[in-house]
């Protein structure tokens, strides 16, 4: 049996949480990540029959029965993951009836998965229904995106359009646009359901005045998506109070999207 601490998916979780922390997106216990793993790969490191504890989910995840995730822990700090992965991360397998999760490794000291796990699992279900290769869901509090929530209308089309205008590559990186939710109570099944509904159309969903959810096939794609949104929001916030002299025009965004051959939300442009 190989050493779990050498597993590539643990290294990715350590590197990603450390990067996000250093970017200032995940203060204190802010943010959480869930990563759907390949079961055969996990069993190179862990005994499938060695269940440490069983943790109730609080909602029905039957369609995810048997699936294995590595998930950040409740109340844990991204700052501390790299130094102590066994306490701050857990590897869990959804039980056969979809009502609980078997802990296979981690959450040392009696921890459990993030309080946002309902929103994560519901987002995984929604993304897998439109993209069977989706593996990663991340929640974070990127500074400029969050700042923009206070000065910009919280509307899918308008928010997407403002971001697309800020960086030439934006329409190519998130051609489907981004979904925007109003402020809602976090940690609940209802915010999970609202997020999952938007996740059928978008890989990025803003939680109004809180942060965002992002999904993707792997850690790089998902992280890159958040970085690009955040960069655009940063440009927006650096320029919002200044007279706009130049802008990327809707015709130019269309030209870009067609040149890159991406399937973009034409109705999010004003042509």
Rounded to an integer, what is the distance from CA 181 to the centroid of its chain? Answer: 15
Taking the least distance from each CB to ligand 2HA, the nearer of 31 and 177 is 31
Does position 17 interact with ligand 2HA (CB under 6 A)? The reply is no
Confirm if 60 and 98 have CB atoms less than 8 A apart: yes
Q: From CA 83, how far away is CA 85, in angstroms rounded?
A: 6
The SS3 of residue 234 is: helix
Residue 76 CB, nearest distance to Zn ion (Å)? Answer: 13
CA nearest neighbour of 63 among 94, 36, 38: 94
Taking the least distance from each CB to Zn ion, the nearer of 179 and 211 is 211
**Interstrand relation of 204-207 and 211-216 (parallel, antiparallel or unpaired):** antiparallel
Does position 32 interact with ligand 2HA (CB under 6 A)? The reply is yes
Confirm if 71 and 32 have CB atoms less than 8 A apart: yes
Does position 118 interact with Zn ion (CB under 5 A)? The reply is no
Q: Which of 31, 118, 175, 192 binds ligand 2HA (CB under 6 A)?
A: 31
Q: Which of 29, 80, 84, 99 binds ligand 2HA (CB under 6 A)?
A: 29
Cβ neighbours of 141 (radius 10 Å): 18
Please give the residue whose beta carbon sits closest to Zn ion in the complex. Answer: 211
Q: From CA 253, how far away is CA 264, in angstroms rounded?
A: 10
Does position 114 interact with ligand 2HA (CB under 6 A)? The reply is yes
Residue 38 CB, nearest distance to ligand 2HA (Å)? Answer: 26
Contact partner, 184, from Zn ion, ligand 2HA, none, Cβ < 5-8 Å per class = none
Which residues contact ligand 2HA (rule: CB under 6 A)?
A: 29-32, 114-116, 139, 186
Question: Given the rule CB under 5 A, which residues bind Zn ion?
Answer: 211
């Amino acid at each position: 049996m190989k050493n779990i601490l050498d597993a590539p998916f643990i290294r990715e979780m350590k590197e990603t949480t450390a990067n996000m922390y250093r970017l200032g997106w995940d203060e204190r216990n802010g943010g959480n990540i869930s990563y759907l793993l390949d079961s055969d790969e996990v069993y190179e490191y862990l005994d499938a029959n060695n269940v440490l504890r069983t943790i109730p989910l609080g909602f029905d995840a039957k369609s995810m029965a048997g699936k294995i995730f590595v998930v950040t822990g409740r109340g844990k700090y991204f700052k501390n993951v790299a130094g102590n992965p066994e306490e701050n991360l857990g590897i869990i397998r959804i039980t056969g009836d979809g009502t609980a999760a078997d802990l296979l490794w981690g959450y040392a000291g009696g921890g459990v998965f993030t309080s946002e796990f309902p929103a994560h699992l519901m987002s995984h279900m929604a993304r897998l229904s439109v993209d069977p290769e989706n593996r990663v869901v991340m929640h974070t509090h990127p500074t400029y995106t969050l700042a923009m929530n206070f000065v910009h209308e919280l509307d899918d089309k308008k928010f997407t359009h403002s971001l697309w205008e800020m960086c030439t590559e934006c329409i190519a990186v998130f051609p489907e646009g981004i979904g925007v939710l109003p402020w809602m109570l976090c940690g609940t099944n209802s915010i999970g359901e609202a997020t999952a509904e938007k996740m059928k159309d978008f890989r990025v969903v803003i939680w109004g005045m809180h942060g965002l959810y992002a999904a993707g096939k792997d850690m790089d794609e998902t992280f890159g998506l958040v970085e690009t949104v955040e960069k655009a929001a940063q440009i927006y916030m650096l320029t919002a109070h200044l007279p706009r002299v130049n802008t990327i025009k809707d015709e130019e965004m269309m030209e870009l999207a067609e040149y890159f051959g991406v399937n973009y939300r034409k109705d999010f442009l004003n042509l």
